[in-house]
């Protein structure tokens, strides 16, 4: 593909509009409303989100993870605490999330601070996962260097046989994070790139204030 072909890729967004008067006072409630619509629309994995972190070196890194819950605390996902993202969150707990629902011409951006969820909550979720997912978490030291694919598959198979029909213990360095939001932006694509952007900011007293941003 030539550079001019890439530059020419574009789509005109025409599905919906987003008026600030139609948004909820609480952005978490607004998110749940949009998420429910994304879920009902049949979008593959509507809970997929880009998690961006930056350690003390300041280099941002993004990757796709899956949202596993949202409540009054914030947005919950699970990972290996010793992974690269885990190490960066240990150094700098500030994080950013981004949901991109192209089929609905919508995007949600969330800035906040990540903290670990209680251990019993992590264990309860780990125990609810499919057997092979639990074995995978036990077999993989996420983000560490491995010799080859065969090494991973051999370890996985050994553990699968060892724990067949038994309880799989949650790894000590595996668990959940909750991103407590301080800013949430809802983006709705509009014709002519005149998109709707409604941003919520949490004030020092914990209340949310919202405004419209230029596209």
Q: How many angstroms separate the CA atoms of 99 and 41, rounded?
A: 15
Identified catalytic residue from 15, 63, 193, 212? 193
118-125, Cβ contacts within 8 angstroms, sequence gap of 24 or more: 119/175, 121/176, 122/78, 122/170, 122/174, 122/175, 122/176, 123/170, 125/68, 125/78, 125/176
In angstroms, the first-to-last Cα distance of the chain is: 29
Of 89, 95, 88, nearest to 51 by C-alpha is 95
Q: Measured on CA atoms in the order 104, 18, 178, 86, is the torsion positive or negative? A: positive
Q: How many angstroms separate the CA atoms of 166 and 32, rounded?
A: 37
Place of tokens 């001019």: 4
Q: Would residue 193 show up in a list of annotated catalytic residues for this protein?
A: yes
Q: Give backbone dihedrals phi and psi of 90, rounded to 5 degrees, phi first.
A: -70, -40
Q: How many angstroms separate the CA atoms of 36 and 94, rounded?
A: 27
Of 83, 204, 195, nearest to 141 by C-alpha is 83
Active site residues: 193
């Amino acid at each position: 593909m030539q550079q001019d072909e890439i530059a020419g890729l574009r789509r005109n967004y025409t599905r919906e509009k987003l008026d600030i008067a139609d948004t909820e006072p609480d952005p978490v409630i607004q998110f749940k409303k949009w998420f429910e619509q994304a879920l009902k629309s049949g979008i593959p994995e509507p809970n997929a989100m880009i998690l961006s972190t930056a350690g003390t070196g300041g280099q941002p890194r993004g990757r796709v993870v899956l949202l596993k819950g949202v409540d009054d605390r914030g947005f919950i996902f699970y990972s290996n605490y010793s992974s690269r993202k885990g190490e960066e969150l240990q150094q700098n707990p500030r994080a950013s999330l981004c949901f991109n629902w192209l089929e609905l011409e919508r995007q949600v951006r969330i800035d906040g601070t990540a903290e670990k969820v209680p251990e019993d909550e992590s264990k309860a979720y780990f125990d609810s996962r499919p057997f092979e997912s639990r074995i995978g978490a036990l077999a993989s030291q996420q983000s560490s260097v491995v010799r080859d694919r065969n090494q991973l598959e051999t370890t996985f198979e050994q553990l699968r046989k060892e724990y067949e029909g038994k309880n799989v213990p949650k790894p000590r360095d595996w668990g959940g994070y909750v991103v407590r939001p301080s800013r949430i932006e809802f983006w709705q694509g509009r014709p002519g790139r005149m998109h709707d952007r409604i941003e919520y900011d949490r004030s020092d007293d914990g209340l949310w204030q919202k405004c419209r941003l230029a596209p």
